[in-house]
């Protein structure tokens, strides 16, 4: 079969068959299809879209492109949770242990951050000694023993996605529903959990800027998972302002610990309880997500989530004392407050802009494999709806280079829009699929 025929068929709006998609993905994985043809194919998909059936086939071909994980020897319904990516999203660090405390086995493979959105693996590496590269057997054994393990990818999972994602990143073809859904779901299906909870972010700090688009992406991913025999649910959640107050690796670990102690920011705590409730339902520990949420609230109040996080840190070689003494986490050499220049209410905090500023403090990367500063980032002092007086702190910048922080301060100030009246409150969970 000629790859050029697949490209022209898609360019002209045709629907590809299973054989054509399988052949395309096999050729990309094995390096037979040159990058320029893959890029042309991706651009054709970007403009023409794919039917649901083509997206299912693409996901399945990508899932089969490498190793797949078999978790069937771990008792119970293993539940994975995936966020489509946002600013300040440290939910796995809190909802993972809380769900595990409710008896839901959590076997989670996570990634590093790229661009404005952070990655769970970078955050965990802010804990001194914490190992994020578990071998497959160790990963499985830890889930069996303590109910949770979070690792960077083990084995050669979905190599087709790695190649395709790297090309999408540099050809302007990331923001396509079928490409996003197949990329995320091929990895979720390959990593072997029985159920997947999707946290589809919506707003200025997310791929999906409006609720309609987010709903469509959620619907498509849920349908892909169900067609592959997995239990699925999706929450569509607000990402129009950063999640919680902390953006940056060590800062976010600290906030996750505070939250598991019951003293986290209200919006983040709310999200953690909702996610944990839905995971408890998917894992068969609660009759419905609402009961699951109540159970999560109770477990949080009893400190069970913190205890489970401590067990996980110990199991993965990290310094568990950070949960009692956060000053053991990396601390930035420089801090610079950013103050309001006018009085009023915080009407909007542009999440993407905060994410970009945080990245530029050193907390994130522009290029894959770039070194990051685990202590750097942004701590918000005000959130949407808060009142602020002229001269009061809006946020604090952290990093190792004071002059760099001074350069970033105006962009961070511009991320806040201050108005005379308070904005209407926005719920954390915008919809459920
Ligand atoms: N996360 C992924 O893994 N893939 C995408 O395409 C977008 C977000």
CB of 182 closer than 6 A to ligand 1?
A: no
Strand order in the sheet with 334-339: 246-247, 377-380, 393-399, 334-339
300-340 pLDDT per residue, tens:
999 999 999 999 999 999 999 999 999 999 999 999 999 99
pLDDT (0 to 100) of residue 1: 67
Q: Choose one of 179, 180, 208 to mutate for the ligand 1 pocket test, by most ligand atoms within 8 angstroms of C-beta.
A: 180
Q: Which residue minimizes the CA distance to atom 6 of ligand 1?
A: 180
* Cα(419) to centroid(ligand 1), Å: 35
CB of 180 closer than 6 A to ligand 1?
A: yes
Across 97-106, 168-177, 268-277, 293-302, least confident range:
168-177
Count of Cβ atoms closer than 10 Å to residue 318 Cβ: 23
More confident residue, 369 or 195: 195
21-70 pLDDT per residue, tens:
999 999 999 999 999 999 999 999 999 999 999 999 999 999 999 999 99
Q: How far apart are CA 51 and CA 216, in angstroms?
A: 12
Tell me, yes or no, if 230 is annotated catalytic.
Answer: no
Over range 124-129, report the average pLDDT.
Answer: 97
Tell me, yes or no, if 82 is annotated catalytic.
Answer: yes
The mean pLDDT value of the chain amounts to 95
Which atom of ligand 1 lies at the shortest distance from residue 174's CA? 6
Backbone angles phi, psi at 113, to 5 degrees: -80, 150
Tell me, yes or no, if 187 is annotated catalytic.
Answer: yes
Identify the active-site residue in 90, 187, 188, 254: 187
Predicted structure pTM score: 0.94
Q: Which residue minimizes the CA distance to atom 5 of ligand 1?
A: 180
Over range 175-185, report the average pLDDT.
Answer: 94
83-126 pLDDT per residue, tens:
998 899 999 999 999 999 999 999 999 887 766 667 899 999 99
Over range 366-389, report the average pLDDT.
Answer: 92
Q: How far apart are CA 333 and CA 403, in angstroms?
A: 12
pLDDT (0 to 100) of residue 368: 72
Sign of dihedral through CA atoms 250, 252, 258, 263? Answer: positive
* Cα(164) to centroid(ligand 1), Å: 10
pLDDT (0 to 100) of residue 74: 94
Q: Choose one of 165, 170, 179, 239 to mutate for the ligand 1 pocket test, by most ligand atoms within 8 angstroms of C-beta.
A: 165
Which atom of ligand 1 lies at the shortest distance from residue 187's CA? 3
pLDDT (0 to 100) of residue 115: 67
* Cα(297) to centroid(ligand 1), Å: 30
CB of 84 closer than 6 A to ligand 1?
A: yes
212-244 pLDDT per residue, tens:
999 999 999 999 999 999 999 999 999 999 999
Q: Which residue minimizes the CA distance to atom 3 of ligand 1?
A: 184
Of the chain, the percentage scoring pLDDT greater than 70 comes to: 99
Q: How far apart are CA 354 and CA 342, in angstroms?
A: 19
pLDDT (0 to 100) of residue 174: 87
Kindly indicate the confidence band of residue 183, based on its pLDDT and cuts at 50, 70 and 90. Answer: very high
Is 90 exceeded by the pLDDT of residue 366? Answer: no
Pairs from 316-319 (Cβ < 8 Å, separation ≥ 24): 316/124, 316/130, 316/131, 316/132, 316/134, 316/142, 316/149, 316/150, 317/129, 317/130, 317/131, 318/124, 318/127, 318/128, 318/129, 318/130, 318/131, 319/127, 319/128, 319/129, 319/130
pLDDT (0 to 100) of residue 114: 64
* Cα(23) to centroid(ligand 1), Å: 22
Is 80 exceeded by the pLDDT of residue 145? Answer: yes
Tell me, yes or no, if 381 is annotated catalytic.
Answer: no
pLDDT (0 to 100) of residue 116: 67
76-86 pLDDT per residue, tens:
999 999 999 88
Contact 115, 304 (CB under 8 A): no
pLDDT (0 to 100) of residue 117: 65
pLDDT (0 to 100) of residue 367: 78
* Cα(133) to centroid(ligand 1), Å: 21
Which atom of ligand 1 lies at the shortest distance from residue 179's CA? 6
Domains and CATH numbers, the chain: 3-49 (1.20.970.10), 79-323 (3.40.1030.10), 331-419 (3.90.1170.30)
């Amino acid at each position: 079969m000629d790859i050029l025929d697949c490209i022209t068929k898609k360019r002209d709006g045709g629907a590809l068959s299973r054989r054509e998609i399988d052949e395309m993905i096999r050729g990309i994985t094995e390096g037979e299809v040159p990058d320029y043809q893959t890029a042309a194919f991706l651009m054709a998909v970007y403009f023409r879209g794919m039917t649901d059936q083509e997206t299912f086939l693409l996901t399945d071909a990508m899932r089969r492109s490498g190793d797949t994980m078999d978790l069937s020897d771990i008792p119970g319904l293993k539940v994975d949770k995936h966020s489509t990516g946002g600013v300040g999203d440290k939910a796995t660090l809190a909802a993972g242990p809380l769900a595990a405390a409710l008896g839901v086995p959590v076997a989670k493979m996570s990634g590093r951050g790229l661009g404005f959105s952070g990655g769970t693996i970078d955050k965990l590496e802010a804990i001194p000694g914490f190992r994020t590269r578990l071998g497959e057997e160790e990963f499985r054994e830890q889930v069996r023993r303590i109910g949770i393990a979070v690792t960077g990818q083990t084995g050669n999972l979905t190599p087709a996605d790695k190649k395709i994602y790297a090309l999408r990143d540099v050809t302007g073809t990331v923001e396509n529903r079928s490409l996003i859904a197949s990329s995320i779901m091929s990895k979720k299906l390959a990593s072997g959990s029985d159920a997947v909870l999707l946290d589809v972010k919506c707003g200025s700090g997310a791929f999906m800027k409006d609720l309609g688009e987010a709903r469509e992406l959620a619907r498509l991913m849920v349908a892909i998972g169900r067609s592959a025999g997995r239990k699925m649910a999706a929450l569509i959640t607000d990402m129009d302002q950063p999640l919680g107050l902390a953006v940056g690796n060590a800062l976010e670990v600290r906030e996750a610990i505070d939250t598991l102690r019951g003293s986290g920011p209200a919006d983040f705590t709310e999200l953690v309880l909702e996610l944990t409730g839905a995971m408890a339902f998917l894992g068969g520990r609660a009759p419905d997500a609402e009961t699951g949420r109540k159970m999560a609230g109770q477990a949080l109040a009893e400190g069970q989530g913190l205890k489970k996080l401590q067990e996980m840190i110990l199991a993965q070689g990290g310094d568990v004392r950070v949960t009692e003494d956060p000053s053991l986490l990396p601390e930035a050499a420089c801090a610079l407050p950013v103050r309001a220049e006018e009085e009023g209410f915080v009407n909007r905090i542009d999440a993407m802009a905060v994410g970009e500023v945080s990245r530029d403090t050193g907390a994130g990367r522009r290029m894959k494999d770039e070194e990051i500063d685990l202590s750097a980032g942004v701590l918000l002092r005000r959130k949407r709806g808060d009142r602020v007086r002229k001269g009061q702190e809006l946020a604090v910048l952290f990093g190792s280079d004071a002059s760099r922080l001074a350069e970033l301060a105006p962009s961070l100030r511009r991320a806040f829009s201050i108005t005379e009246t308070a904005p209407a409150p926005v719920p954390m969970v915008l919809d459920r699929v």
